[in-house]
Amino acid sequence: MATNNQPRIERQVLLFELDRRCLFADCNHHVFIGLTKQEAMEYRGFECSACLRWNDDNLIRKDVPEWWEEIQANQDQAVH
């Protein structure tokens, strides 16, 4: 009998979108990146969806105005 049937509590997953361009000049693809708050805290870049190369990137305050201080606080702890 299936017992994994508990109602899931849908926590409000906040997702925000970054609007970026691939940093490689020969690509310059427009990339949208959806991040949860948790992912935002660990965000260090993105893989371009067109050329699949890694783009080093960081959030700026404008990306996450509401979470900025919280994210910064968490990132500070992770700095090595």
What type of residue is 68?
A: W
The residue from 18, 51, 57, 67 that contacts Zn ion (CB under 5 A) is 51
- Shortest Cβ 34–Zn ion spacing (Å): 17
The DSSP string of 40-66 is HHT--EEE-TTT--EEE----TTT-TT
Residue 20 touches Zn ion, criterion: CB under 5 A: no
- Shortest Cβ 30–Zn ion spacing (Å): 10
Please choose, out of 1-9, 36-44, 45-53, 66-74, the segment that lies near Zn ion by the rule CB under 5 A. 45-53
Euclidean distance between CA atoms 18 and 14, whole angstroms: 13
